[in-house]
Structure 1
Amino acid sequence: MRVGAGGLVLLYLLAAPLSPALAWHAYVVKVLDGDSLRVKKGNRILEIRLYGIDAPEYGQSYGEQAKRFTRRLTYKKTVSLTSKDMDRYGRIVALVKSDGRLVSRELVREGLAWVYPKYCLEQPLCSSLKRLEYKARRARRGLWKAKNPVSPWKWKQRERSRGQNGRR
C-alpha cells in the first residue's frame, strides 16, 4: 500500500497524541478540574490527564482553587503536550506545558496538587516534583495549610466506601 503526502500528514495527526516521544500542540477548550483538560487538535477533541500529579476533587478542599489555577495557565491557549500513557478512562496522560511552564510542576509548587506516587515514575522529573511538594508542605502553601489534608486517591476511596455502606 502506498500512502501519499496527505495521507502521511493524516497518519501523523492521528498518531501524534499517543506517541510518547513526540511533543505535539493542541488548543485548550475546557479545564475540567485541576488535573484534567479538553484540548482540540485538528477536528478532534481529546481529554488530557496531567502526568504525575493528583489535584483535589470537586467537593474536596482546594479543588476549585486547583481548577482555577489550571484554567489561568491553560484555558484558550495552545499548549505543548508529551504523551506518556492512556488511563483507564481513555484519557491521554501527558506532560503539558503552557507558556514554557510545566503545569504539573506549577500546581505542586503552589500547593494545589499532590505528586501521585503510584503513577509518577519518570526520573528525574518525579524526584523534582517530590522536592517541590516537600517545599510547599514546609511553607504551608495551598492545601498544605490544613493540618492533615487528604489526598484525592484516599478521599475517593473513602467516598466510595461511604456510598457502599449507605452513609451518604
Structure 2
Amino acid sequence: MKNRYIFTVLSVLFCYVCIACQSQSDYVYSVKGETGDVTRALHESEPSRAEKNKRWKRGFAYVTKVIDGDTFWVDNGTESFKVRFIGIDAPETRNSRWKKKGYFASESKEYVRSKTEYQWVRLEFDVQAMDRYKRRLAYIYLEDGTFLNASLIEQGYAVVDTYPPNVKYVEQFIDLQKRARETKQGLWRKEPE
C-alpha cells in the first residue's frame, strides 16, 4: 500500500514537471497581424542568451510573454521574470478572486502584445523595485522611444493607478487620462456595465 501511494505521488509530480517544462519550452507562437495569423518558430528569431545579457547591461530586456495590458515576462539572458507596469492598471483579461474580467481587456492586452512580445524594451525603475507578488515594477519604453505606460493611458487601454513611492510620472499620467476620457479614447468610449 505504501509503495503504491509513493508511486502515485511520484507519477503526479512527474506529470506536473512535464507539463511545466512543456509550457516553458514552446517553440512555436502565433502573431495576429493585418495579413492574418503568422506562425513562426521561436528558435529561428529569439536572441541568444549572450545577446540578451549584452542588451540587459544597456537597460533592455527581451519580452517573452504578455500576460495582460500591464504585465509581461522578460528575459535578460540570466533570468526570466515578471514585470508589472508602474502607474497604470489595465482591465483584467480573466476573473480572479480579487478582480473581474474587465471591459476592453482583450484590446489592451493585444495592444501591448503587438508592441512588445518577442521584442526589446527598456525598463526604467523607480523607488520600489518589486511589489508584494514579487513582480519587478517598471516604466516601459519601446525601442523607438515610445513611453508605453503613458501611451496605454493616452489611448484608453489603461487607467492611472499609482502607489507611493513610485510616483515619478503621476502628473503626466493624470493629464493623459483626463484627455483620453474627454475624447472618449479606448475604454472611455462607453462606460463599463
Give me the TM-score of the superposition, normalised by structure 2: 0.62
For 1:10-33, what per-residue CA distance to the aligned partner results, in whole angstroms no more than 9, with x for missing partners? xxx7xxx9xxxx972110000010
Greater relative contact order (Cα < 8 A, sep 6+):
1
Higher gyration radius (CA):
2
- What secondary structure is seen at the aligned counterpart in 2 of 1:101? coil
Distance in 2 between residues matched to 1:74 and 1:89, nearest whole Å? 22
Distance in 2 between residues matched to 1:40 and 1:80, nearest whole Å? 12
Residue 109 in structure 1 maps to residue 109 in structure 2: no
Distance in 2 between residues matched to 1:121 and 1:35, nearest whole Å? 15
Aligned length: 129
- What secondary structure is seen at the aligned counterpart in 2 of 1:48? strand
4+ residue segments displaced more than 3 Å: 117-121
Residue 142 in structure 1 maps to residue 177 in structure 2: no
On the 8 A contact 1:27/1:40 being kept in 2, the answer is yes
5+ residue gaps, structure 2, are 1-52, 94-100
Residue 74 in structure 1 maps to residue 109 in structure 2: no
Distance in 2 between residues matched to 1:88 and 1:76, nearest whole Å? 27
Counterpart of 1:61 in structure 2 is 103
Shift of 1:86: 0.3
Give me the TM-score of the superposition, normalised by structure 1: 0.70
Counterpart of 1:45 in structure 2 is 80
For 1:33-75, what per-residue CA distance to the aligned partner results, in whole angstroms no more than 9, with x for missing partners? 0000100001311100001100001221111111001111111
Distance in 2 between residues matched to 1:61 and 1:117, nearest whole Å? 20
